[in-house]
């Protein structure tokens, strides 16, 4: 049974794959994050990942089950076939991936779709499309997690994207705990982070900060 999309799922959005936690068990990392209270998990295993296709699927099955038990949406990055095979709650695609219209048709009524948008033009095109649940916008700040990251958007750029977008926006890229209130102040629904959680000395405190920043006042 897949979870329906809710904007509150974007408040503390954890993105991770084996390449982000070298020498650690991704199952343990994700379970710690789930226990800490993350509101969404994106399985993004790529780049320097050493996993075979079969290993990536097997690990995905384990992570999918953990998320299901926690009632937290399990989202697959980029790979529509993997998302369908794992019966993911959602799939997240970038501007360079399969055309988002094809993705929407492929997964119709089976899962929700998130789309990366870093410019006003991209957001305006996304506004014309039926079937996009949320936008991932960034990088807000310089990031080390992605070699081919788009130019930095900044808080002012993020605010413009949020105002323009017709669906909720989650901020991504180079975000630190200290910047969470400023991101929330732009109207973004939450933050999507990799290293802020994988390198956190206290994941529970970091997730709590993410949730606190987006509390509705």
Q: Look-up: residue for tokens 């697959």?
A: 76
CB atoms within 10 A of CB 21: 17
In order, the DSSP letters of 148-190 are: TPPPP-HHHHHHHHHHH-SS-EEEESS--GGGHHHHHHTT-SE
Is 200 a known active-site residue?
no
Is 96 a known active-site residue?
no
In order, the DSSP letters of 102-117 are: HHHHHHTTTSEEEEE-
Is 44 a known active-site residue?
yes
Please name the residues in contact with 213: beta carbons below 8 A apart, sequence gap of 6 or more.
180, 181, 183, 184, 191
∠ CA 179-147-23, nearest 5°, is 85
Residue among 46, 49, 106, 146 flagged as catalytic: 146
CA 111 and chain centroid, separation: 14
Residue among 44, 56, 64, 66 flagged as catalytic: 44
Residue among 66, 116, 145, 159 flagged as catalytic: 116
Catalytic residues: 44, 116, 146
């Amino acid at each position: 049974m897949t979870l329906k999309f809710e904007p509150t799922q974007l408040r503390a959005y954890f993105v991770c794959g084996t390449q982000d936690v070298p020498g650690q068990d991704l199952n343990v990392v994700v379970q710690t994050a789930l226990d800490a209270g993350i509101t969404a998990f994106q399985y993004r295993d790529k780049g320097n990942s050493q996993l075979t296709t079969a290993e990536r699927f097997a690990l995905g099955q384990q992570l999918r089950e953990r998320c299901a038990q926690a009632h937290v949406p399990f989202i697959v990055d980029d790979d529509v076939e993997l998302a369908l095979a794992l019966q993911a709650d959602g799939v997240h695609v970038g501007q360079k991936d399969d055309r988002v219209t094809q993705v929407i048709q492929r997964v119709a009524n089976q899962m929700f779709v998130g789309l990366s948008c870093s410019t006003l033009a991209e957001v305006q095109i996304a506004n014309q499309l039926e079937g996009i649940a949320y936008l991932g916008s960034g990088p807000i700040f310089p990031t080390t997690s992605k070699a081919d990251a788009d130019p930095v958007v900044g808080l002012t750029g993020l605010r413009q994207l949020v105002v323009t977008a017709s669906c909720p926006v989650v901020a991504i890229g180079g975000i630190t705990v200290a910047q969470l209130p400023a991101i929330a102040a732009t109207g973004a629904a939450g933050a999507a982070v990799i290293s802020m959680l994988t390198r956190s000395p206290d994941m529970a405190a970091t997730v709590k900060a993410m949730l606190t920043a987006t509390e509705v006042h």
